[in-house]
C-alpha cells in the first residue's frame, strides 16, 4: 500500500473512532440523570470536539481524492470501544459513568498515538492529527481527574 493510501486508511480509522466517540457521548447524555448535569455539559463539549475532528479529517481524506468513512466502525478492537461503552452507562453512579468514559477516551487516545507513530501520515495530515491528539489527551485527563475525585 502506498503512503497516500496508508494515510487515508489511518485518517478514515480516526474518523470512525471519532464517530464512535460521538455516539458514546450522545448515549451517555441521554442516560445521565440531573445530579450529574456537569457531566452532560462536558460530554456535549467532547461530542462537539469529535464532530469538529471528523470534519477536519474528512477534509484531509477528500483532499487526497479518496472516499471518506461516514459511519461508526463495524469491526472489533479499539474502534468499538465507544460503541461498547455506550450500553454501559447507567445514569446515576458518577464513578461508573466516568470509568466508562475514561475507557472510551483511552481507546481514542491510543488510536491517535498509533496514527502518529505508525500511521505513515501525509505531511498535510500530521499537523491536524497532532493538534487533535493534544485535545483528546486533555479531554482524557479531565475525565480521569473527575473519575479520581468520584472514587
| DSSP string of 31-67, one letter each residue | H--GGGHHHHHHHHHHHHHHHHHHHHHHHHHHHTT--
Provide the pLDDT for residue 71. Answer: 60
The pTM for the full model equals 0.86
pLDDT, tens digit, 9 for 90 and up, residues 79-138: 445 545 555 555 458 888 888 889 889 999 999 999 999 878 988 899 999 999 999 999
Cα gap 47→24, rounded to integer Å: 9
| Buried-state track 120-133, b at ≥16 Cβ within 10 A, e below 16 | ebbeebeebbeebb
Residues near 92 by Cβ (< 8 Å), separated by ≥ 6? 33, 35, 36
CA pair distance 45, 63, nearest whole angstrom: 27
Q: What's residue 76's pLDDT?
A: 36
Q: pLDDT value at position 79? A: 42
Q: What is the pLDDT of residue 97?
A: 86
| 147 and 102 Cβ atoms separated by less than 8 Å | yes
Report whether 14 contacts 53 (CB < 8 A).
yes
Residue 143 exposed, middle or buried by CB count within 10 Å (0-12, 13-18, 19+): buried
In this predicted model, what pLDDT tens digit does every residue of 34-93 receive, in sequence order? 888 999 999 999 999 999 999 999 999 998 877 776 665 544 344 445 545 555 555 458
Amino acid at each position: 500500500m502506498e503512503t497516500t493510501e496508508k494515510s487515508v486508511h489511518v485518517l478514515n480509522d480516526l474518523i470512525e473512532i471519532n464517530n464512535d466517540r460521538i455516539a458514546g457521548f450522545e448515549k451517555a447524555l441521554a442516560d445521565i440523570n440531573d445530579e450529574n448535569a456537569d457531566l452532560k455539559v462536558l460530554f456535549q463539549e467532547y461530542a462537539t470536539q469529535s464532530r469538529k475532528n471528523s470534519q477536519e479529517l474528512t477534509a484531509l481524506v477528500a483532499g487526497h481524492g479518496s472516499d471518506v468513512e461516514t459511519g461508526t466502525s463495524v469491526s472489533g478492537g479499539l474502534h468499538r470501544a465507544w460503541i461498547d461503552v455506550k450500553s454501559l452507562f447507567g445514569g446515576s453512579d458518577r464513578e461508573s459513568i466516568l470509568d466508562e468514559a475514561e475507557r472510551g477516551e483511552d481507546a481514542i487516545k491510543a488510536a491517535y498515538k498509533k496514527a502518529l507513530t505508525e500511521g505513515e501520515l501525509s505531511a498535510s495530515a500530521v499537523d491536524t492529527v497532532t493538534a487533535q491528539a493534544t485535545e483528546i489527551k486533555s479531554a482524557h485527563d479531565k475525565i480521569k481527574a473527575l473519575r479520581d475525585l468520584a472514587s
